[in-house]
Amino acid sequence: MVLSRLLGVVTVGVLIVGGVATGTGTAAEYEQREVFSPDGSIGRVVVPVQEEAPAPRAGVRADVVAIQQTGPSSERFDLVFVGDGYTAGELGLYRQHAIDRWNEIAEIEPFKSHRQSFNVWAVEVVSPESGVSNDPRGTHRNTALNMTFWCGGTQRLLCVNETKALQYARLAPEVDQVIALANTTTYGGAGGTVATSSGGNASAGQIVLHELGHSVGGLADEYDYPDDQYTGSEPSEPNASVYTGDQMRQHHTKWYQYLGKQSPDGGVVGTYEGAVYAKHGVYRPTQNSLMRSLGHPFNLIGLDAMTTAIERKSRVASSNR
């Protein structure tokens, strides 16, 4: 997958939800970002769209190291790490953070069985200062990608200048998913075209896994908000539906062939009410998969969607490790 296609599909975490006209005729735009809690729960918050001046062209220079290179990028899924708040003297720490986060991802299925289908790159972005802004709140640090906690007023929401992050990421041979790592041990992250994560926090890889569910598998969010009623049409994603189990069987649609099977996240596949941000009128396949809250495996439907996408891209059989 090339970057242009990536930009077309990885939009689940960042949706423009509306504009506010002002008296001068200019408009302020807002966007929703996924935010993750240490207890595993996931939600979305609305933040103003950040002013994102691109880095000067001459400034976009960095070495790219391969965390692992298993084949030509045209036949691999290319994960690209970019780092922020790492000084020239801290690039060793950055490489270790990238390796740790990748190892955390590669322990979870379907990545575990398909580890060889991935190329993993670390772009060695050098920042003038160590650490990122608002860590703790009120501190400002001069960094290459302007990463900051307290984005939109939410402490653990870790934002990045996506324009700059993508400029650096393109130094890698190919880009399928960009992950911006902040030089911190504080828990945080965000979903979006560029997923963000704390480089030095052992739980932060879970955020990246959830985002890969969107970008690799094309999966919907399975979390909901109390009392919200779903009023939309049938979701296009494989893991959310307005149909009950009986209706799925009747119409041979969605996960009808999976109904009643055991799922890796526990329990059996069915139709559990509550998904895609609504409590009623829409169903998810299992009680609590990684698309609903962190710290759980993907469910059977998500696993199969991701495995199909990885194998289509990589042409590497899962047994060929």
Q: Which residues bind Zn ion (CB under 5 A)?
A: 34, 221
Q: Give min distance, CB of 288 to Zn ion, in A.
A: 14
The set of residues, in sequence order, having a beta carbon less than 8 Å from that of 92 and lying 6+ positions away, is: none
Task: Cite the beta strand spans of 207-277 per DSSP E.
Answer: 272-275
The nearer residue to Zn ion, 62 or 305, going by C-beta atoms, is 305
The nearer residue to Zn ion, 174 or 211, going by C-beta atoms, is 211
The nearer residue to Zn ion, 127 or 177, going by C-beta atoms, is 177
The nearer residue to Zn ion, 104 or 221, going by C-beta atoms, is 221
Q: Give min distance, CB of 34 to Zn ion, in A.
A: 5
The nearer residue to Zn ion, 174 or 221, going by C-beta atoms, is 221
Q: Give min distance, CB of 221 to Zn ion, in A.
A: 4
Q: CA-CA distances (angstroms) from residue 182 to 133, 145, 146?
A: 10, 9, 10
Sign of CA dihedral 292, 266, 303, 249: negative
Quick one: tokens of 127?
Answer: 């920042």
In 3D space, the residue among 221, 133, 216, 230 whose CA is nearest the CA of residue 176 turns out to be 216
Q: Give min distance, CB of 43 to Zn ion, in A.
A: 10
Rounded to the nearest angstrom, the gap between the alpha carbon of residue 172 and the centroid of all alpha carbons in its chain is 19
The nearer residue to Zn ion, 164 or 210, going by C-beta atoms, is 210
Phi then psi dihedrals of residue 313, to 5 deg: -75, -45
Quick one: tokens of 207?
Answer: 């955020």
The nearer residue to Zn ion, 47 or 316, going by C-beta atoms, is 47
Q: Give min distance, CB of 210 to Zn ion, in A.
A: 5
Q: Give min distance, CB of 286 to Zn ion, in A.
A: 16
Q: Give min distance, CB of 44 to Zn ion, in A.
A: 8
CB 31 within 8 A of CB 16: yes
Exposed/middle/buried for residue 64 (C-beta within 10 Å: 0-12, 13-18, 19+): middle
Distance CA 164, CA 138 (A): 23
| Closest residue by beta carbon to Zn ion | 221
Phi then psi dihedrals of residue 194, to 5 deg: -110, 110
Phi then psi dihedrals of residue 287, to 5 deg: -65, -45
